[in-house]
Amino acid sequence: MNSEPLLEVEDLDVHFGTEQGLLGRFFGDDSVVRAVDDVSLEIGEDDVVALVGESGCGKTTLGKAMIGLQEPTNGSVRYRGQDIWEARTGESEIPYSKIRRSLQMIHQDAGNSLDPNRTVFENLSPALKKWRPELNLVERRELVQTMLETVGLTPASDYASRYPHQLSGGEAQRTVVVRAMLLEPDLILADEAVSALDVSLRVNMMNLLLDLQDMFSTSFVFISHNMSNARYLAGKADGRIAVMYLGRIVEIGPPDEIINNPQHPYTKSLIWATSGLSEIDEPIESPPLREIDVPDPEDPPSGCRFHTRCPEAREACTEESPELTPVGETPRHEAACYYARDDREYWNSDPLPGLEGESGGGSERDPRSAGAD
Ligand SMILES: Nc1ncnc2c1ncn2[C@@H]1O[C@H](COP(=O)(O)OP(=O)(O)OP(=O)(O)O)[C@@H](O)[C@H]1O
């Protein structure tokens, strides 16, 4: 990975106001969903990050903000040093059109993003016409067919003249991937790009994305609620897994570390929920959670947002939200958890009611009992 980041997300918030009606507004009840809250993340050249977390934790919102499709409430996203939203709204060193072309997205529902009344070539050609005006029709056709061949849609001339309804789900998805790749982007956001496919096609599709990533050195952000897929994609590409919970990244690191040496209790619960994932999997009957229900994102818990479900939670966790900090020996492994970093204030505070004396309270890791400072 090159040292200069391709994308820098800094202190990013994306908050959505919710419809309250006249009465709610009159009484000042302006509820806000903090879909993304204080997220910082760097994506390098030729870098791969798999973003995982439960439904509604903010993965798509963060992804869209990263490629300029969602306006931040606070904070910034910079592409090669240029603030994307400043570029969009005014003067900039890198024109917004260049940024737009460089940051592409592949949606889950490929079929719907193709025009049903146009052939594959006609679906793919307009973007080329716009962004590669130097190419004539013959050259555009050649390029489209070469890319169709690259993704295994052969004979390419046959596929180029098909209509979307003549494609299977996997073929439509490959067509959408070609459309994104034709623009030679620096980064592709693949939002649940394989989850709509049959299980048998998923691995093929993931392998294709990895091959393209390798061939063109394109950076990828894969959004997935599935830890196995995240591990496969980030593992093969020597990338990272970022775990999101209620708008925040709570742990990030190399896939082997995240899976076999998770530090955040939420990551542990995700791994628990995915059978056969961890090499150190010990059969635990019940989920490593105090509370199954996810809190209301309009009214998230104070302090660490996971504290209401966390088996390691102490009073300190209800007061302040821990920052992502390096954990363990492995570079690039960070967790936002007091327990993971043997925080003194945490260990000096009381376990939450109902957790006193439980094994989950982590007393055997208490650095005070080990004589740590
Ligand atoms: N345009 C919007 N207006 C209001 N709330 C929104 C909007 N978009 C997303 N949200 C809310 O923001 C939160 C995060 O949504 P988001 O779609 O980013 O989560 P996600 O992790 O991608 O979920 P999923 O895996 O189900 O797609 C959710 O509570 C969602 O209801």
Per-residue confidence (pLDDT) for residue 282, from 0 to 100: 61
Q: Which atom of ligand 1 is nearest to the CA of 63?
A: 18
Going from the Cα of 187 to the center of ligand 1, the distance in angstroms, rounded, reads 22
Distance linking the first and last C-alpha atoms of the chain:
37
Cα 364 → chain centroid: 34
Retrieve residue 297's tokens: 């994102």
Rg of the chain over all Cα atoms, to the nearest angstrom = 23
For residue 223, the CA-to-ligand 1 centroid distance in Å is 13
Diameter of the chain measured on Cα atoms? 74
Mutate to test the pocket of ligand 1, among 59, 192, 243, 298 (most ligand atoms within 8 A of CB): 59
**Residue 110 pLDDT:** 79
pLDDT above 70: percentage of residues in the chain: 87
Q: Whose CA is nearest to atom 1 of ligand 1?
A: 16
Report the range of poorest mean pLDDT among 89-93, 102-106, 260-264, 267-271.
89-93
Q: pLDDT value at position 361?
A: 42
364 pLDDT more than 60: no
Per-residue pLDDT of 111-136, as tens digits, reads 788 999 999 999 999 989 998 899 99
Q: Which residues line ligand 1 (CB under 6 A)?
A: 16, 33, 35, 53, 55-61, 225, 297
Atom number in ligand 1 closest to CA 14: 12
pLDDT of res. 279:
64
Task: Categorize the per-residue pLDDT at 199 as very low, low, confident or very high, splitting at 50, 70 and 90.
Answer: confident
Residue nearest to atom 29 of ligand 1 (CA): 56
Nearest-CA residue for atom 6 of ligand 1: 16
Nearest CA owner, ligand 1 atom 25: 55
Q: What is the pLDDT of residues 319-338, one digit of tens each?
A: 989 999 999 888 899 999 99
Could you tell me the distance, in angstroms and rounded to a whole number, from the CA of residue 60 to the centre of ligand 1? 7
What is the dihedral sign for C-alpha 311, 312, 318, 324? negative
Average per-residue pLDDT for the chain: 86
pTM: 0.88
Q: For residue 271, how far is its CA from the centre of ligand 1 (angstroms)? A: 23
Q: Residue count of the chain, please give it.
A: 373
Distance in Å, CA 329 to ligand 1 centroid:
34
What are the structural domain ranges in the chain? 1-238, 256-373
pLDDT band at 363 (very low <50, low <70, confident <90, very high): very low
* Domain 1-238: assigned CATH number: 3.40.50.300
Residue-level pLDDT at 118: 96
DSSP 77: E
Ligand 1 pocket: which of 18, 61, 246, 298 to mutate (most atoms within 8 A of CB): 61
- Residue 325 gets which letter from DSSP? E
